[in-house]
């Protein structure tokens, strides 16, 4: 596991290669991923608004300051995953790819439905304050098609609806790695302290995670996942 960023700096531990050619950029409670090699790579999700400089530093550390991806792929369009998509896509002059069912929220046609007010847990309570407004992005937004990921031939995208209608996860068969966006959770969502401490104890949300796991199992010929990340 290789870490990028200056040791002892506030960025230490935020940019980490967790699997071959899978670089995670941690932005508070949300991650972005740089997938691929210098010959071709994509950015998956873009973190919280304001995280663009950290993502740029991750890209520069990995591939050099002039590198740019072949595309930005969004697991879904919530502000904490798509927060910098428009700015980075315009800066790099690359398209944003998302599931067709997620497109209405990215091209200004629809707002997300309200959060289920009966749901408990720290994040669920906090999420009631999050904006559910759809946005009209200025960058080019294109629908994913087939099951391969343009710019990342090792990866397939899997429709994992539940968290949003058009949520997708990315799966790499060669080492059975799954990038699951918000379809899986990796901390106790009922605990406020874990949101801060980020205890690395995997846990599953009861609905979306089951769908994601079922989808990934069928995609993975029912073999267990070797590694999964959110
Ligand atoms: Zn979300």
pLDDT tens, 20-42? 999 999 988 889 999 999 999 99
- pLDDT computed for residue 203 by the predictor: 41
Distance 172 CA to ligand 1 centre (A): 22
Is the predicted pLDDT of residue 221 greater than 50, yes or no?
yes
Q: How far is the CA of 82 from the centre of ligand 1 (A)?
A: 9
Distance CA 21, CA 38 (A): 10
Q: DSSP letters of 158-200?
A: EE--SSSTT-EEEEETTTTEEE-TTSSB-S-TT-HHHHHH---
Q: How far is the CA of 196 from the centre of ligand 1 (A)?
A: 18
| Sequence ranges of the domains in the chain | 2-229
Task: State which fold the 2-229 domain adopts.
Answer: Metallo-beta-lactamase; Chain A (3.60.15)
* Distance of CA 110 from the midpoint of ligand 1 (Å): 16
Give me ligand 1 centre to Cα 163, in Å. 6
Both structure tokens of 90: 């315009």
Asked if residue 58 has pLDDT above 90, the reply is yes
- Ramachandran angles phi, psi of 53, nearest 5°: -60, -40
Distance 182 CA to ligand 1 centre (A): 5
Per-residue pLDDT, 84 = 97
Which of 101-110, 112-121, 146-155, 174-183 comes out lowest in average pLDDT? Answer: 112-121
- Which residues contact residue 132 at a Cβ distance below 8 angstroms, ignoring those fewer than 6 apart? 111, 112, 113, 114, 115
């Amino acid at each position: 596991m290789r870490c990028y960023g200056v040791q002892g700096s506030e960025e230490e531990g935020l940019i980490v290669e967790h699997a071959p050619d899978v670089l995670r950029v941690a932005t508070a409670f949300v991650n972005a991923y740089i997938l691929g090699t210098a010959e071709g790579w994509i950015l998956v999700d873009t973190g919280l608004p304001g995280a663009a400089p950290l993502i740029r530093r991750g890209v520069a550390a990995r591939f050099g300051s002039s590198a740019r991806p072949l595309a930005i792929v969004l697991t879904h369009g919530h502000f904490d995953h798509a927060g910098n998509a428009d700015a980075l896509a315009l800066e790099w002059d690359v398209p944003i790819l998302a599931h067709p069912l997620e497109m209405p929220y990215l091209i200004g046609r629809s707002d997300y439905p309200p959060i289920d007010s009966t749901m408990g847990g720290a994040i669920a309570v906090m999420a009631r304050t999050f904006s559910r407004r759809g946005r009209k992005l200025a960058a080019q937004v294109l629908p994913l098609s087939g099951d391969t990921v343009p710019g990342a031939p090792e990866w397939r995208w899997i429709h994992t609806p539940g968290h949003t209608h058009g949520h997708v996860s990315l799966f790499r068969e060669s080492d059975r790695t799954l990038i699951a966006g918000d379809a899986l959770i990796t901390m106790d969502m009922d605990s406020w302290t874990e949101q801060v401490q980020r205890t690395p104890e995997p846990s599953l949300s009861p609905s979306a995670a089951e769908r994601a796991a079922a989808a990934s199992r069928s995609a993975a010929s029912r073999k267990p996942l070797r590694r999964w990340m959110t």
